[in-house]
Amino acid sequence: MTTASQRMPLIDALKAIASQLIVLHHLASYGPLAEAGRELLPGAMGWLFEYARMAVQVFLVIGGFLAIRGLSPNGEALAGSPLPLLWKRYLRLSIPFLAAIALAIIGSAIADHWLDDDAIPARATLGQWLAHATLLHGILGVESLSAGVWYIAIDFQLFALTALLLWAGRKRLLAPALVLVTGITSLFWFNRDAGWDNWAVYFFGSYALGAAAWWAGDRRQYSVWLSVILTVTIAALLVDFRLRITLALSIALLLGFSRRNGWLERFPEIAPLPWLGRISYSVFLIHFPVLLLANAVIAQFSELSNIGTVTALLLTWAASIAAGAVFYRLIESPAASQRIAAAIGSLLATTQTFGRKLSSLKPLRAVRGRLP
């Protein structure tokens, strides 16, 4: 957890807005509540369905920005092995992710009794859970157990790829060059082919824009990195215009400019954006089971009035945020994560100790077996 002096209110605000747009996108996409909403508010719900999902670009750019802040703030290569960093990142993502998956499985099982809808995942299998636990569900083509969870695997892949590129660089100038070249390759090739969308290289262009935005914050290199960001991205858009990449470029420029001018820290903290930004990952993880249960309840009514539809939409949205707040406090917050990690470590240590004791008993049993 960052200290007060390290906090970036602008990033909190961007994460808050983006996470809510993702929730509203799913609210406009699944179940009878979405159908009722589209009938009542076709313009707004249609826009949320079509465009709100692009808010994921905000998270991609911010992810690259913060990853470079921690891994290579001055463009240096990664000196040590990236494996401990990857393990730490895996735990940071997977502990709340697996807790949310467990709740999603329970929510789907309950909703399945009341609602017949394609949005409800099929009953989970052990293999399916293991694919999610190892963050390989997208690569293996395993059906997702919750909406949007493809992003968790992609986030880990992007961080891992960045760390490996910085480690492979070994020299000051080569490390950022490898990140830049991989980002350019993504923008001009991989991101234009949806067949790569289960792999980090499809999204690495946006992630690399975030990395370049951090480096652009250095006053000595501001104009160089700004020129690189604009030239490369505009060229990629001229080859193949993509609205999502235009959004990523805008966020990268905003972050680079804000870091250089101190706006990252001085951005006004407008309630409740700092709080929503802090719990954004929890809201992202937990909102789909809430949405399924809300739709299961709505399905029990033969018809909703206009006021009833709006009320149901607002209550479901509010319930998603409330569930995210509770989930953050119990599972994702630094204090909760430390308790969970400590419990897991204690369990592993106990298991290892028990295993050593068992192995030490085997020779004794063998000797006793040979006694008359």
pLDDT higher than threshold 80 for residue 371: no
Query: Residue 232's closest CA among 193, 177, 195?
Result: 177
Q: What is the pLDDT of residue 79?
A: 85
pLDDT value of position 117: 81
pLDDT for residue 73: 92
- Residue 169: φ, ψ to 5°: -65, -45
pLDDT of residue 3: 40
In the block, tokens 């909102």 appear at 287
pLDDT given for residue 172 in this prediction? 62
- Tell me: pLDDT of 367 over 50: no
Read off φ and ψ for residue 293, nearest 5 degrees: -65, -40
Tokens representing 28 are 């406009």
- Tens-digit pLDDT profile for residues 144-200: 999 999 999 999 999 999 999 999 987 667 899 999 999 999 999 999 999 999 999
CA 251 to each of CA 63, 202, 226, 276, 364: distance values in angstroms, whole numbers, following the listed order: 12, 18, 13, 19, 66
In this predicted structure, what is the pLDDT of residue 274?
94
What residues contact residue 165 under an 8 Å CB cut-off, 6+ apart? Answer: 175, 178, 179, 182
pLDDT for position 369: 47
8 Å CB contact between 22 and 279 = no
Specify the higher pLDDT residue, 331 or 350: 331
pLDDT one-digit tens code per residue, 12-66: 999 999 999 999 999 999 999 999 999 999 999 999 999 999 999 999 999 999 9
Q: What is the pLDDT of residue 302?
A: 75
Residue type, 215: W
Lowest mean pLDDT segment, chosen from 48-57, 106-115, 342-351 = 342-351
Question: Which pLDDT score is estimated for 115?
Answer: 85
By the 8 A CB rule, do 295 and 147 touch?
A: no
Q: What does the buried/exposed string (b/e) look like for 45-74 if buried means 16 or more CB atoms within 10 Å of the residue's CB?
A: beebbeebbbbbbbbbbbbbbbbbbebbee
For the cut 90, the answer to whether the pLDDT of residue 239 exceeds it is yes
d(CA 10, CA 264): 5
Q: What is the pLDDT of residues 240-295, one digit of tens each?
A: 999 999 999 999 999 999 998 888 989 988 899 999 999 999 999 999 999 999 99
- Output Rg (C-alpha) for the chain, integer angstroms: 23
Q: What is the pLDDT of residue 362?
A: 52
For the segment 90-96, the average pLDDT, to the nearest whole number, is 93
Q: What is the mean pLDDT of residues 341-358?
A: 73
Which residue, among 271, 169, 166, has the nearest Cα to 214 in the 3D structure? 166
Which amino acid, one-letter code, is at 42? P
Give just the sign of the alpha carbon dihedral 13, 270, 23, 292.
Answer: positive
Specify the pLDDT at position 101: 96
Q: Would you say residue 2 has pLDDT above 50?
A: no
In whole angstroms, what is the distance from residue 140 CA to residue 314 CA? 36
Cα–Cα distance, 308 to 36 (Å, whole number): 10
pLDDT digits over 189-238, tens only? Answer: 999 999 999 999 999 999 999 999 999 887 677 788 888 899 999 999 99
Alpha helices in the chain (DSSP H): 9-27, 31-40, 42-51, 56-71, 83-114, 126-133, 150-169, 174-188, 200-216, 222-239, 243-261, 263-266, 273-278, 280-298, 306-327, 334-370
CA-closest candidate to residue 155, choices 209, 187, 200 = 200
Separation of alpha carbons 267 and 9, rounded Å? 6
The residue that leads in pLDDT, 304 or 237, is: 237
283 DSSP 8-state letter: H
3-state secondary structure of 105: helix
Position 1 pLDDT exceeds 60: no
pLDDT score, position 165 = 96
- Note the pLDDT of residue 365: 46
Tokens representing residue 157 in the block: 């892949």
- Model confidence at 370, pLDDT cuts 50, 70, 90, reads very low
Helical (H) or strand (E) element with 336: helix 334-370
